[in-house]
Chains A and B, each alone.
Chain A
Amino acid sequence: SQELEQSPQSLIVQEGKNLTINCTSSKTLYGLYWYKQKYGEGLIFLMMLQKGGEEKSHEKITAKLDEKKQQSSLHITASQPSHAGIYLCGADMEYGNKLVFGAGTILRVKS
């Protein structure tokens, strides 16, 4: 969706390097969700952020939502081949019950 811009579109990193993926909207995000997808499979939930300034971590993945609640970043520390896949951000932009998704970021990790 153009309502949610993800960058970069794709990323190749050397194993062990850090990386950041961004998700930006022109509208206030009531809830921001990060998902990971292995090629040809369904999406796996990573994290959800709702409050401005909120930050959550799971293993080596950290996600933040800015104070204005219009931008989120996903940061992976010391990347591993198991981190490879497609990362998608999804957002609840209005008081409703559907999520809008970004186009996704393809991550490849070179050993």
Chain B
Amino acid sequence: DVKVTQSSRYLVKRTGEKVFLECVQDMDHENMFWYRQDPGLGLRLIYFSYDVKMKEKGDIPEGYSVSREKKERFSLILESASTNQTSMYLCASSYWGLAGGPGELFFGEGSRLTVL
């Protein structure tokens, strides 16, 4: 069974702390994505990666960084957490689609981060 695993389902951190969110996929997918989900706003893309050590900014990269040292692992880093980063974070992975697009995305269960 294909799987995208996010390291933590729930985290509570304090303002200014450094936060690591880890994501691992076992499907040998080229593409990996980090989204955040907020009520009324849907999913917004933070960063994505289409290959090891490659990364591209999404729509809301400010305050975040990412790391992809191995194909199966994509980490999201909040250098100095702030209260407006309280959100649900979703990791996803995909092959390249037939038309050159991302193809079907497989999502992890999500990590709910609360910053106090």
Contact = CB atoms under 8 A, between A and B. Distances in A.
Interface of A: 1, 4, 6, 9, 30-31, 33, 35, 40-45, 48, 50, 88, 90, 92, 95-104
Contact of A97 (B42, B48, B90): B48
Nearest to B98: A50
A95 to B, nearest CB: 5
A4 B43 CA distance: 11
Interface string B34-76: 0100001111110010100000101100000000000000000
Contact of A102 (B42, B45, B102, B109): B42
B102 A99 contact: yes
B107 A43 contact: yes
Chain B interface bracket (under 10, 10 to 19, 20 to 34, 35 or more): 20 to 34
B112 interface: yes
Contacts of B99: 30-31, 50, 92, 95
Contacts of B112: 40
B100 to A, nearest CB: 5
Nearest to A89: B42
A61 B44 CA distance: 26
A88 to B, nearest CB: 6
A95 B101 contact: yes
Contacts of B33: 98-99
Contacts of B25: none
Q: Kindly name the residue among B42, B59, B94, B98 whose own CB sees the greatest number of chain A CB atoms within 10 A.
A: B42
B107 A42 contact: yes
Interface string B99-115: 11110111111101000
